[in-house]
Structure 1
């Protein structure tokens, strides 16, 4: 699964990485070291003409939901069942997004504790989770745009830590994932595979990351 991650770069770095026009970006962004479910997260969609950078609430609420309570339980979507779950089937076909990150956290079970790890790309670069989004309209008419992160089976790096990992898209596949005209399920499903283990690294970090109240650079420091 993926229940916590980081995005510590500047808005300028994000705009450069994703080729976002200044008019299509959020006006303010700060480095985040411990992003958690139900928070607003930086996301990228394609409006049919350009990539747009905005914010979605992490925890998918389907457009047909009676209320938004289910969002906190839908932070992840299993890649193997996207076409089987009513909440994910339409977003998978038409509402796909990128969720930028520069690391994510997972907890390895020990005999009497759990050790948090921060997983990054070896070169330290920004990467994109494969995400889905939807818009729910509240009884008062207000709109809530929400998202979920897709997970897959673990690669050899992740397997000793956890039995799932988030889908990280290769940069050359990001535009295909965003393309609204791309609705061929088999071709999209082929993108939802474990990222190459040799391009990633996992470092133990402090249990400070266990609490969502902690959101400082100390969360990402490697334990020595």
Structure 2
């Protein structure tokens, strides 16, 4: 009896180049849905600021600083480098952030950034902070140094500071002395404006003939006598030439 079924050669059903065609199809499919794309590098964007604090009291042998704060709209933003352009008596500052390509949370992220301007010549500088801050709104004054040393005082090595009381504004300073002959002498505070308070922790070095290189932690509560109101920068000088900056609502 004859069979009603015929065996059809595979080559008649699947072309010889089917493997190549399938690979091409999969490549187009994956490309269409983004499966084959490389991760995108973050972009560097200019970002606005919500507030600017300008400490005063810098000499022409200090590392001058400006402190800004703002709010990123999502978690896709991370702090980036700051562009600083100094042209005679004008300092142009452009804050930047890295923008990462999702997925990110749609929540606001506050940020604070200390901008080191380096050593500047004595004089008064106009600050132009882009893109949101009106030009010439802030000024920075640099005085002539009274000596050839790094600072007018021997500052204590402050590592951190925090507000422990707002009713009677009190700041707790934490630091570590690196020599047994060093100690905290006194702390001087003064309001540079109604929004910036300078805190100067002055140390002393008494050579008793047996000074040892040992680490000695210390802390000190400092009460600020001047009344504080609103958003305020507490600018604490430190031995290493930088400063500890704390922004607080009073």
More strand by share: 2
Q: How would you bin the TM-score normalised by the shorter chain? A: under 0.3
Q: Which has the higher contact order (CA 8 A, sep 6+)?
A: 1
Structure 2-normalised TM-score?
Answer: 0.21
